[in-house]
Structure 1
Amino acid sequence: MSLKVALLGAAGGIGQPLGLLLKQNPAITELALFDVVPVVKGVAADISHVNSPAVTTGYTKDDDGLKHALTGAQVVVIPAGVPRKPGMTRDDLFNINAGIVRDLAQAIAEFCPKAFVCVISNPVNSTVPIAAEVFKAAGTFDPKRLFGVTTLDVVRSSTMSAQAIGDPTGAPKYTIPVVGGHSGVTILPLLSQSKPALPESLLGDNEKLKALIHRIQFGGDEVVEAKAGAGSATLSMAYAGYYFVQRLISAAFEGKTGVVEPSYVYTKDEASLASEIGESLDFFSVPVELGPEGVKKLLPVGKLSEYEASLLKAALGELSGSISKGVSFIQTPKL
């Protein structure tokens, strides 16, 4: 099996470690690294020394580099964009990153319209709708092949829950679904559905529970502040991005079944989801069963605790505005 993966924004703080992780996946036979900065060719040369199957090449915007990076790609991963700095919200990133994602989506529609597209660029709540609108305009939109990567929220939920109950080394054993979106209050970790169950000493303590959920929702701020202006959550995001991509590869190309990961996907026509959450949204992060077609099935959100239900209401209001903002960015004529 040959498998080409294109990584767009490969020279950045997320892109470099993500490229290194992708190079280690034995299923990937070709790894195309694209960035607008020339150093991406050096990044590719560096990563190419790793003794794994993927033939690695770096491309810039010169000499039709984006075209060459995307042609034949079966999976495209997009961490491209500017990072957050202290005091910035994800919405502050919107105007810059929205334009970047729009331009990259247009190239994907032209050069690899059947690829699975994994969007990491923030604000994901808006950039995924932007990509969808571009694909719709090009006649290439397949809702089963477009993913907003929210896996960092899942990773944080496991890690921070384990820390909160005094079991920091036990993080890998907690599987906690996260629904909603990928920004602040739109992130809803369903701690009541953790497998194995979290102890009642946490779930039954309102103050501890509120503090933990706030920490998960705003974990990015924790990293931005700790790096004191020198960066954002790049390494954990690279890990989370790789985790989702390798799970997608295992389901879509390697025949693995029962692969379920939460992801921010197109949900406009999902009446059962609308009934569950009380509102119809075009995009929502929900547990997704992955398969050869990408999205095989959306799984139910499930029973929420009373507190989680109140958090869902707050998430829905903000999420609706973020989706509309992304759609308007594409649909509104430029002056």
Structure 2
Amino acid sequence: MTKAVVLGAAGGIGQPLSLLLKANPLISELALFDIVNTPGVAVDLSHISTPAKVEGYLPPNDGLKKALTGADIVLIPAGIPRKPGMFRDDLFKINAGIVRDLAVGIATTAPKAFVLVISNPVNSTAPIVAEVFKKHGVFDPKRIFGVTTLDVVRASTFVSEIIGDLSLAPSIVVPVIGGHSGVTIIPLFSQSSHPLPSSLSSEDREKLTYRVQFGGDEIVKAKDGAGSATLSMAYAGSEFASKLLRAVKGEKGIVAPSYVHLTADKEGGEVVKKEIGRDLEYFSVPIELGPEGVVKINAIGKVTEYEQGLIAAALPDLATNIEKGVTFIDSSKL
């Protein structure tokens, strides 16, 4: 029996994410929480012929606590979406407070649950969740994940487009490290399971890298200000949740990039710090998953000179983003 909880379930990401989780055979119970509309979303989903029981909760009458009671995995897509011209960092003031309050609920009601942070800016919101858990004395770095899977999904899709065969997309693996915004997103195309064509120019490679880093802008522009990456983000969140649940159930060898606290595997974390040349607390790296969450943080490995430059460019922003999240909690009254 596995209970999954979606916090922000009535939103643009929350609804399709909840739909995908309802269809996941590993989930037997699905609890939905948001400030509006969750009972209706839950009833809608409950008509789908899959085993998971669905219930929706609103803030009154301890709705958050009821939703989180008995949770095994909690996904947080709550928050406002990006608008045209808005960077992920612009979302911070609003989304930070939302994530903080939800994290308090998790820390006090379901402290052993796996927490998947989707709310942007992930570079800062994942540290916010961790700091809340620290203040409540329940922090376990192996169980808190910043979801960066969308960057991996984009990189794999774009490579399949360049190769000219979209049917390859599900099998293409491109490690994406660093963080989850702009220049902090570092696709390692040199390590792609399906190499890029040798005829690809350095200029085209740079354009491809930029497209992965700023793919969200492409969607915001295409939606003409009416939304951001909701459907693709829901898919990515569901994919990571599925991999984690499979690992929890005992499947071996599952590896996926995620933005984690590097003490989740102290030995592996120290290797990554040496590779990037900076003592950061968080970094998105390929991690091996298991019953307790993070089993192993894998080394970044060999990268090209160009990719090394991308890493160097990402580090200042990452450090600032992390500090912003930590400072927000230090100055908050929990």
TM-score (norm 2): 0.97
Is the 1:190–1:308 Cα contact (8 Å) retained in structure 2? yes
Kindly report the root-mean-square deviation, in angstroms, between the aligned alpha carbons of the 2 structures.
1.0
Which secondary structure state, in structure 2, belongs to the residue aligned with residue 200 of structure 1?
Answer: coil
Which residue does the alignment assign to 2:277? Answer: 278
Is the 1:262–1:287 Cα contact (8 Å) retained in structure 2? yes
Which residue does the alignment assign to 2:221? Answer: 225
Letter in 1 for 2:204: K
Deviations 1:114-173, CA, capped at 9 Å, x for gaps: 000000000000000000000000000000000000000000000112223333343223
**Deviation at residue 199 of structure 1 after TM alignment:** 2.2
Which secondary structure state, in structure 1, belongs to the residue aligned with residue 283 of structure 2?
Answer: strand
Which secondary structure state, in structure 1, belongs to the residue aligned with residue 186 of structure 2?
Answer: strand
1:146 to 144, 147, 152: 144
Matched, 1:290 2:289: yes
Which residue does the alignment assign to 2:255? Answer: 260
Deviations 1:81-103, CA, capped at 9 Å, x for gaps: 00001111001100000000000
Which residue does the alignment assign to 1:190? Answer: 188
Structure 2: tracts of 5 or more residues without a match: none
Which residue does the alignment assign to 1:332? Answer: 331
Which residue does the alignment assign to 1:89? Answer: 87
Alpha-carbon distance in structure 2 between the residues aligned to 1:165 and 1:314: 28
Which residue does the alignment assign to 1:299? Answer: 298
Letter in 2 for 1:290: L
**Deviation at residue 17 of structure 1 after TM alignment:** 0.3
Structure 1: tracts of 5 or more residues without a match: none
**Deviation at residue 280 of structure 1 after TM alignment:** 1.2
Which secondary structure state, in structure 1, belongs to the residue aligned with residue 61 of structure 2?
Answer: helix
Which residue does the alignment assign to 1:99? Answer: 97
1:243 to 239, 243, 255: 239
Which secondary structure state, in structure 1, belongs to the residue aligned with residue 287 of structure 2?
Answer: strand
Which residue does the alignment assign to 1:170? Answer: 168
Which residue does the alignment assign to 2:14? Answer: 15
> Equivalent pairs: percent with the same residue?
62
Alpha-carbon distance in structure 2 between the residues aligned to 1:307 and 1:112: 43
Matched, 1:74 2:66: no
TM-score (norm 1): 0.96
Alpha-carbon distance in structure 2 between the residues aligned to 1:332 and 1:29: 39
Matched, 1:108 2:94: no
Is the 1:143–1:266 Cα contact (8 Å) retained in structure 2? yes
Deviations 1:238-264, CA, capped at 9 Å, x for gaps: 000000000000001x21000000000
Is the 1:164–1:212 Cα contact (8 Å) retained in structure 2? no
Is the 1:288–1:298 Cα contact (8 Å) retained in structure 2? yes
Which residue does the alignment assign to 2:24? Answer: 25
